[in-house]
Amino acid sequence: MRWVVLILLFFGAVINFADKSIVGLAAVPIMKEFNLTYAEWGLVGSSYYWLYPVTGIFGAAWADRLGAKKVLGFIMLTWTVLQFGVLAITALPLLILYRILLGAFEGPYSPIAYSHADKWFPPKLKGFANSVVVGGGTVGAMIVAPILVSLITIFGWKVAFAALGAASLVWFFLFQFLTKENPVEVYENVQKKKKQKLEKIKVKDFLLLLASPTALFTTLAYFSTYILVVWFSVWLPIYLVEAVKMTPGQMGTSVAIIGVVSVCIYMGVSMASDHLFKKNQNWRSSRVFVVAGAMILGALFFSSIMIFHNPIWVIVAMCLAKGLTYAILPIGPTIMINEMQERGGLMTSILTSSGNLAGIIAPLLTGYIISLAGGNQLLGYNLSILFMAILVLAFGILFAIFVKPAGKLKNKSSDNFDLKSS
């Protein structure tokens, strides 16, 4: 059962990130249809995240109380409605309103999915399980790019958006009929917890927890990486077309290549982290140092494209930069859940929603920087790349220095999970 759950969470993430990224893939026809400037396009990209952090927190807290299955089903139905609603968009204000609402209802997905996967997998597989969910995001954002570009080219961008709405509806029925809420039947400790009401959190204690070095610098590292997530989603297609001078077809293929290779890289990093954790049970060496090292290397590769503009190197550097920096995305939730196991959804929502504040900043900042460069688009892109590389590098170093998770998972009952939950 746990593998069915994980596969469906993976495809849910595919849809989630395809919904995010399709606006970037359709950037050229949308900007042409509505006659948008770079600054206005930055506003469109940013608007998706205006409510995303807030609804991510409340949605995940709601899932902790009502159950992930019910909440995920509800939000997936809203995605269906909104994606079909794109057919009625006729002006920039409606486009922005649609992106705001879509972001609001897609905000809870990632933290709920991480927490839900955490219920089903033992400690030695948690990093891998979360990397599969994150991998779904990369598939949705990049690997399916050629398919989405083809739909946009042949049928128009509105029909392509509506096709994702249909995919959301199919996922809803599969998840509701093929999965269970949690593996309560397989070990007594979870059954007992299910009968108990979840205690209310004292605000003071919770704020102190969030201000602890482990929670704070994990969140900041996630935040810095998510600036790259948003840049890859909103600006990478335009960058490849305008700065690297690729055709739309070459752009779609390149985006897919970057997605495929990067998934292999960060899943490999996650599996290496799991292997080290299984071997030494040391959070610092197996989780923190592995992720910090990957982030630092990724930032250096990302900054290299400012110097080497050859299209082949740009793709290679993007693959390495994305794959290495994204290591924080599957491992970060594991660290946060360990800080308050009984509130896994809430803890991951704090992480992802705080990180998603980058989604508000990054598109606007990139659009502003490119505009400042005047007619020199390459200079504008390079300045935005330099800014992001420095940010990831700095927070990767701080993450390595200050993050010191508790030595063992606080849910000790999971030790026997392997034998009972398959």
Query: 347: which residues sit within 8 A by CB, 6+ positions away?
Result: 115, 333, 336, 337, 339, 340
Chain centre to alpha carbon of residue 26:
20
Alpha carbon separation from 354 to 91, 227, 237, 262, 357 (Å, rounded): 30, 11, 25, 24, 5
- Provide the sign of the torsion angle of the four alpha carbons 368, 227, 390, 354, taken in this order: positive
- Provide the sign of the torsion angle of the four alpha carbons 163, 31, 78, 224, taken in this order: positive
Cα separation, 394 vs 399, in Å, equals 9
Query: How many percent of the chain have pLDDT more than 90?
Result: 36
pLDDT score for 141: 65
pLDDT score for 149: 86
pLDDT score for 198: 54
Tell me the average pLDDT across 121-135.
82
Task: Name the residue among 299, 364, 305 with its Cα closest to residue 326.
Answer: 299
pLDDT score for 65: 82
Are the CB atoms for 271 and 360 separated by under 8 Å? no
Tell me the average pLDDT across 168-197.
70
Residues 245-296 have pLDDT tens digits of 888 788 888 988 998 898 889 889 988 998 898 888 888 999 999 999 999 9
User: Quick check: 375 pLDDT over 80?
Assistant: no
Write out the two tokens for 140: 């949705």
Are the CB atoms for 385 and 317 separated by under 8 Å? no
| Residue owning tokens 């071997």 | 279
Cα separation, 395 vs 352, in Å, equals 16
Q: Does 93 or 143 have the greater pLDDT score?
A: 93
Tell me the average pLDDT across 394-408.
88
Task: Name the residue among 317, 327, 262, 321 with its Cα closest to residue 289.
Answer: 327
Are the CB atoms for 260 and 394 separated by under 8 Å? no
Residues 331-343 have pLDDT tens digits of 888 888 888 776 6
Q: What is the pTM of this model?
A: 0.69
Q: Does 341 or 240 have the greater pLDDT score?
A: 240
pLDDT score for 411: 43
pLDDT score for 370: 76
Chain centre to alpha carbon of residue 209:
23
pLDDT score for 412: 41
pLDDT score for 420: 42
